[in-house]
Chains A and B, each alone.
Chain A
Amino acid sequence: MLASLLYILTNIPLLLKGVLIAVEITVCSIALGMVIGILVAFLKIYGSKNMKKVVSIYEWVFRGIPQLVLLFIVYFGLPTIGLNFGPFVSVVIGLGLCSSAYQAQIYRGAILSIGSEQMEAGLSLGMSKFQTLFFIILPQAVRLSLPGFTNEFTIVLKDSPLAYAVGIAEILKYGRDLIVTSFKPFEIYLACAIIYFVLFQLFYYLFKYIASRFEVPGFLIADQ
């Protein structure tokens, strides 16, 4: 038992090599999801009728496809029509597209709950639309989105091991390599689990801390 524990602990540093790539995948996917998500949210609120329909279908489709299937379509499928992406980019596209559908909902909910009166109040002071968006709507939308965003970030983090399926050397891949020589799958996978768990907690509390820094009475964002 003690030996196993020691074995787990001594192997964690070897697995840590995969942490950076896991974080990179998560951050890039979240960033892609954010850019598309914000765009989709705006189009769904302010777009024309047809535009609203198009983005609704977009959300509907990407929420309904498992990420692994999406990833395989991008990595193995798209090359057959001449679109070649490396494994890292494929993972980011797969996770990012899926995340964008969820993030769109988060931002749309935030913007809608702010209400049109805030915009009118800004305009009535003589501010431009852009000023009002920047100084009034955005600061509130960010606060309102933080809990949902934190949640989505940790979900994508936990989905990042899918990268293993296209051969990226992340935590799980390093674990696999160790098992081949050590024949200790239980200990090694447990070590992987610990790393993911700690990563999850790190980011969770990081975002919670950020939320608490932005906290304003009336926006109960830090205690989710």
Chain B
Amino acid sequence: MSLVRVENVKKSFGKNTVLDGVSFTIEKGEVKVIIGPSGTGKSTLLRCINMLAPPDSGKIWLQDIELTNPKTNLHQMRQKIGMVFQHFALFKHLKAIDNVALGLVKVKGMNRSDAYKKAMNDLQKVGLAEHADKYPAQLSGGQQQRVGIARALAMDPLLMLFDEPTSALDPELIGEVLQVMQNLAKEGMTMVCVTHEMGFAKSVASEIIFMEKGHILEASAPQQMFSNPQNERTRSFLHKIAELYGETL
């Protein structure tokens, strides 16, 4: 059974159709990288997967639970889906360690000392143990994003969603975040990443999905996608990113 199944998902905001019938599956341990022009619905797709933006129609399954079923307990299911935000979205009034521990205490109902032990462990994983007592405003963008990753990881999710996790970062800070993501991928975490970091995609993606105007236009392994894109639109988009990010594909 696939870890995630997305079936013909449609989503509109008013008259603006953002997702127009999107289907794909994610196997356990896979890393999917989603690329595509701005406004194509990439973020919306991620937000559909954890039901922050429930689809208008179509179905989404996590393992054998249908998330789009109104009877599903979303609070329970969202614990299994970690989300990392473009602008970090750390809880600004809480220290790094509190950011990570909050979900463990309030959602998982762990006692405080266990929760903080685990939170410290997760901060260590992203290389931030010595910054545990700092507030978000005292951390660099790269450090904040790593706290964001630790916060999501703390819940022991089955799946991690990344929405352009490095696009708000200064170039010299991107590497440290990608490194953490790469390690995660190697450890076998199932991931869906919206990112235009093609180096990252090349090294860890099992599949690259090219989206345009609410459709999946093409999906294939990185090698295939970079050497021989089937669709003319994919080809020209890849060229554009290559120019923009100075990557040689």
Contact = CB atoms under 8 A, between A and B. Distances in A.
Chain A contact residues: over half helix, strand or loop, or mixed?
A: helix
Contact of B92 (A122, A127, A128, A140): A140
B216 interface: no
A118 B52 contact: no
A121 B163 CA distance: 12
Category for how many chain A residues contact B: 20 to 34
Interface string B67-93: 000000001111101110101011111
A123 B138 CA distance: 25
Contacts of B87: 117
A218 B137 contact: yes
Given A125-B103, A125-B155, A126-B103, A217 B91 contact: no
Given A126-B76, A126-B107, A128-B75, A218 B52 contact: no
B85 A117 contact: yes
Interface residues of B, number: 30
A127 B103 CA distance: 7
B117 interface: no
B106 interface: yes
A121 B92 contact: no
A218 B103 contact: no
Interface string B101-121: 011001100000000000000
Interface in A115-143: 117-118, 120-128, 131, 135-136, 139-140, 143
A120 B85 contact: yes
Contact of B93 (A121, A123, A126, A139): A139
